[in-house]
Chains A and B, each alone.
Chain A
Amino acid sequence: DIQMTQSPSTLSAFVGDRVTITCRASQSIDRWLAWYQQKPGGAPKLLVSKASTLETGVPSRFSGSGSGTEFTLTISSIQPDDFATYYCQHYEISSPIIFGGGTTVEI
């Protein structure tokens, strides 16, 4: 079974910092990876699909990269609204959907 491991589990940042979150797959998943943002008490919001495709309306300070087993979500200059928990997700036809353990970005 494929496992998705995120790091770090928590990170502290100042407004304006460049923030990078890593997601590693236990085996190659090509580019079948998405990133979500979740704020306390809310539902996850899709940010990135196919490893690097930004969803409509997502600020350009967010970017995704990677393929195979290692992926990153980068926030180029973190804003107050970006402090949240981020999840990576592997999705692929005929495979179970797997979420990473989450990364909480706090001030």
Chain B
Amino acid sequence: QITLKESGPTLVKPTQTLTLTCAFSGFSLNTIGVGVGWVRQPPGKALEWLALIYYNDDERYNPSLRNRLAITKDTSRSQVVLTMTNVDPVDTATYFCTREPFCHGGSCPLDHWGQGTLVTVSS
């Protein structure tokens, strides 16, 4: 059974750095083609993809947020960490951890999601 679970602060002050951890089980980030990443959703708004990291350490980022994001992985601990610098109240959102599986012949959509964690940015 594949599970992903997000953890991190629920409240962050503006200008601070947000660090979120995704702990996953039921698969390995050593598997060819697999990636783990993050998607966020401001209250009442649409989904926004943030970043992905793959089995081979390749990283992909949302271009509009690229200079504020960093994604890393600890394969031995089955964890992926996202850091977002210089947060602002507009970064208030539910942050979801997700998995991209391996697909023959091309890319794959995100097939498993964590329950999400709500992060509020406020002074």
Contacts and interface: CB of A to CB of B under 8 A. Distances in A.
Partners in one complex: yes
Interface of A: 1, 32, 34, 36, 38, 42-46, 49, 55, 87, 89, 91-94, 96-102
Interface size class of B (residues with CB under 8 A): 20 to 34
B48 interface: yes
A87 B60 contact: no
Select the residue from B96, B110, B115, B116 with max chain A CB neighbours within 10 A: B110
22 contacts: A43-B96, A43-B114, A44-B39, A44-B47, A44-B113, A46-B109, A46-B111, A49-B109, A87-B46, A89-B47, A91-B107, A91-B110, A93-B107, A96-B62, A96-B63, A97-B39, A97-B62, A99-B39, A99-B47, A99-B48, A101-B46, A102-B46
A43 B113 contact: yes
Given A43-B116, A96-B60, A96-B63, A87 B106 contact: no
Interface in B41-90: 46-49, 52, 60, 62-63
A49 B92 CA distance: 29
A92 B106 contact: yes
Contacts of B110: 34, 44, 46, 89, 91, 97
Contacts of A44: 39, 47, 96, 110, 113
Contacts of B11: none
A43 B46 contact: no
A97 B109 CA distance: 9
Contacts of A94: 60
Nearest to B52: A97
B107 A32 contact: yes
Nearest to B96: A43
A20 B63 CA distance: 31
Interface in B85-108: 96, 106-108
Contacts of A92: 106-107
